[in-house]
Structure 1
């Protein structure tokens, strides 16, 4: 019964995406996504979704809490260009008396308060040369966007860990072990802050002078495949999220892959995200190598 009700709800939401001329949306998510598309003269022409119930638990008030995932596939048309965007939404609903209540996306959990150790020390040691293989980084991002490589530890807030894996797959060398506040590395059950914490990666990439490093550019149009975008959703100076560029839309603007908000080929601005605020700030970082 619960599964049937959830399927009905998802199907109703899907119908809102492709109902032409509609202005009154029951789903805030649908409204945000359609408005984001309209700003860049794009249109969602088809939506598919599959659901998976992960857990049903009885609550003290005799309701049942339902944790489930919805995997959306959006066919987006922008002029003559057509591409597929995907995302997985983690949701929670309450079931009682044959009805679904309080159904909504579970907010992502960001890193906690800033730690003193996140201020990275000055560089020292020999220069670590490498050639960044952008295609390999993108291929890794595509392979693991909605699953987790067992060779690495999985985190509740996994966005920066996933981006680090992508960069390493592109031949970026680890360095700095065993100091958590130096370099960029993961080994066994330990890792640097810059490997797993969005704000630390944002600090490390443009300040590093050896090994993995990046240069900040003026806007998203300057990014290449395999480059990185950092997100400060609240605009408070602490960056919360990291994505990797895996494609471009018809206007040559970045489409990105990410974890935590598991998604692929998502438009870079994140205006359709529940984490988005009008105060959002971005950092656009292009990876620099030793060619």
Structure 2
């Protein structure tokens, strides 16, 4: 079965390279990605796909394998090359060692943590907490931990906002508001504020905070710089459910981002190739202030 999965990886990888596409086995993820690349005059010149088995289960003649598929795309844009990476969790099912199903396990952003989305942002009256945001440290942290988890922090099943909060904190943003979960932005003593770990709550915090970690909302992604944050409302229903941090710019000066849950490195900011993408998607762009 490992051999079957490896054959799948190799076949899937070829679908991202235009010269090797076959209409009969062309699949939507590759199509979305290639369309997104074409819009910005970019192309994939080489792709590698590898897998790591997470869990196996057996039931009589059926076997299920949950695994991670790690893609590496070498992208060329206006003569420049850069490497984008992403990891997706997948489930393969076999009957009598014959593959009968293989599909992506789509994460549900913030899962049970949605309870916090209804919590209002609570301002406090402390004096302003001054700090200098070290963007380089934040980016270095995002690069180091984009596909793994720092044991110094609590890990969430849906980890995108926790990861961004860690990046901001390592960059020098001060925690505040403990122990009120609805106030400030903090993680301490195995507990955390809603804004630390919940996508929509961090978005509200960045929109309203006047002390400590603060941000200015701008109108377009090209106005952001490295270390800034993008918030995503995939369904366009007003509840933001994903966050990323900018770690690079492409040849057009547009953001490339790192993220958790959909573990990604130097991914194009618009997420048009994501399984979570919908035509109703909305974004908010936040420039972090010192």
The two structures have a TM-score, normalised by structure 1, of 0.95
Unmatched tracts of structure 1, length 5 or more = none
CA contact (8 A) 1:3 1:53 kept: no
Indicate the SS of the match to 1:199.
helix
1:92 aligned partner = 91
Indicate the SS of the match to 2:206.
helix
| Cα drift, residue 188 of structure 1 | 2.1
Once superposed, what is the RMSD of the aligned Cα atoms?
A: 1.4
2:51 aligned partner = 51
Does 248-257 or 48-57 show the bigger shift?
48-57
Aligned pairs, how many? 287
CA contact (8 A) 1:123 1:208 kept: no
1:192 aligned partner = 193
| Cα drift, residue 109 of structure 1 | 1.7
CA contact (8 A) 1:123 1:209 kept: no
The two structures have a TM-score, normalised by structure 2, of 0.96
Task: Check if 1:76 corresponds to 2:96.
Answer: no
Unmatched tracts of structure 2, length 5 or more = none
CA contact (8 A) 1:163 1:243 kept: yes
1:124 aligned partner = 125
1:253 aligned partner = 254
Indicate the SS of the match to 1:20.
helix
Task: Check if 1:33 corresponds to 2:72.
Answer: no
For the residues of structure 2 that align with 1:99 and 1:124, how far apart are their CA atoms?
64
| Cα drift, residue 80 of structure 1 | 1.0
1:104 aligned partner = 103
For the residues of structure 2 that align with 1:68 and 1:179, how far apart are their CA atoms?
38
Structure 1 residues 1-291: aligned runs within 5 Å: 2-20=1-19, 22=21, 24=23, 25-59=25-59, 62-111=61-110, 112=112, 113-115=114-116, 118-289=119-290
Indicate the SS of the match to 2:8.
helix
